Amino acid sequence: MGKARAHQLLASLAAIYLILAVTQHVNVTGILTDDLEIMWGNAKFVTDSSGQQAIALALDRSTSSAFRSKKTCQFCRVDIEIKLVPGNSAGTVTTFYMITENPWQFHDEIDIEFLGNSSGQPYTMHTNMYARGQGSREKQYKFDFDPTQDYHKYTIIWNKDWILFLVDDKLYRQIKNNQIYGAPYPYYYPMRVYATIWNADEWATQGGSVKTDWSQAPFTAYFRNYRAISCDLYQASPLCLPGSGWFDQQLDESRKQQLAQVDSSNKIYDYCTDSKRYKNGGPKECGVTS
């Protein structure tokens, strides 16, 4: 009985410590210069209309722009709030992604790309994953809101079992580690976070039929409230403990319902069901049930 009570007490103290740690980390300070650095082009730290520090990434005919994280992470959760380019954003692509620093032919990457559109037409959220240079795992989604009118939170969760894509804490996509079936999965190398804006009017909007209207430039997207929590094999953070809610994230019934709703209402492209691309059936993981 004494040992049981001691274990119960230790478990309670651990839970309290975890809650305090999570609360402490959830309060984002907004000091982006501590974690992020400007890379190139028309990128700069600004103060937005709410008084918070943000990064403005701008695109014009002469240059794109980008920033990146100062640190890499392996198995991590990354959150950032983004307000996308308003009005006629056709031809532009705003990105938020993670990538290894390996040679390109062997690189790993987890992507969120926002494909611009003509005024009044919706953005497309394009998601993808590469592992050891193997990619082409695209899925695309539309939103139930206008992502240009205010900031929305976008999250990538990457652990040893799953990659999860969330929008405002709602699950949009999951990628399961199906290496046992021969499917690629990023597992062995840390990644760095990047954000960019660039011109891709040869393919980004309606298959490239709508081109960038440079008279509308500069095209500017805003980023704020960046947070990254890394949980590599040697990480002792309480946010990485089993039961912390994301590092060992599994698809519980609530998440499965979210995913089913998004698949029904928001998903507009799935590589697994592209019969023109895969005439003899999709990759192996497409037939694996989660």
Per-residue pLDDT of the chain (290 residues; tens, 9 = 90+): 444 433 333 333 333 333 333 333 333 445 899 999 999 999 999 999 889 999 999 999 999 999 999 999 989 999 999 999 999 999 999 999 999 998 999 999 999 999 999 998 999 999 999 999 998 899 999 999 999 999 999 999 998 888 999 999 999 999 999 998 888 999 999 999 999 999 999 999 999 999 999 999 999 999 999 999 887 655 556 666 655 555 555 677 888 899 999 999 999 999 999 989 988 877 878 876 55
Nearest alpha-carbon partner for 246 in 66, 18, 31 = 18
Query: In one letter, which amino acid is 235?
Result: Q
Query: In one letter, which amino acid is 26?
Result: V
**E strand or H helix at 221, and its extent?**
strand 219-230
Kindly tell me the burial class for residue 214, based on how many C-beta atoms sit within 10 Å of its own C-beta (0-12, 13-18, 19 or more).
middle
How far is Cα of residue 112 from the mean position of the Cα atoms in its chain?
Answer: 5
Which distant-in-sequence residues (6+ apart) come within 8 Å of 166 by Cβ?
Answer: 153, 154, 155, 157, 172
By three-state DSSP, how is residue 168 classified? coil
Q: Cα-atom radius of gyration of the chain, to the nearest Å?
A: 20
Which distant-in-sequence residues (6+ apart) come within 8 Å of 162 by Cβ?
Answer: 174, 175, 176, 177, 249, 250, 251
Nearest alpha-carbon partner for 111 in 93, 130, 92 = 130
State the Cα torsion 140-253-158-226 to the nearest 10°. Answer: 80
Phi, psi torsion values for 87, nearest 5 degrees: 70, -145
Nearest alpha-carbon partner for 178 in 164, 161, 190 = 161
At residue 235, the pLDDT reads 56
Phi, psi torsion values for 236, nearest 5 degrees: -105, 5
Distance CA 49, CA 246 (A): 32
The structure tokens listed for 127 are: 């998601």
Provide the annotated active-site residues. 109, 113
Distance CA 84, CA 62 (A): 20
Q: Which domains does the chain have, with CATH numbers?
A: 27-273 (2.60.120.200)
Residue 126 β-bridge partners: 113, 140
**What is the sign of the dihedral through the CA atoms of 267, 272, 273 and 276?**
positive
Kindly tell me the burial class for residue 22, based on how many C-beta atoms sit within 10 Å of its own C-beta (0-12, 13-18, 19 or more).
middle
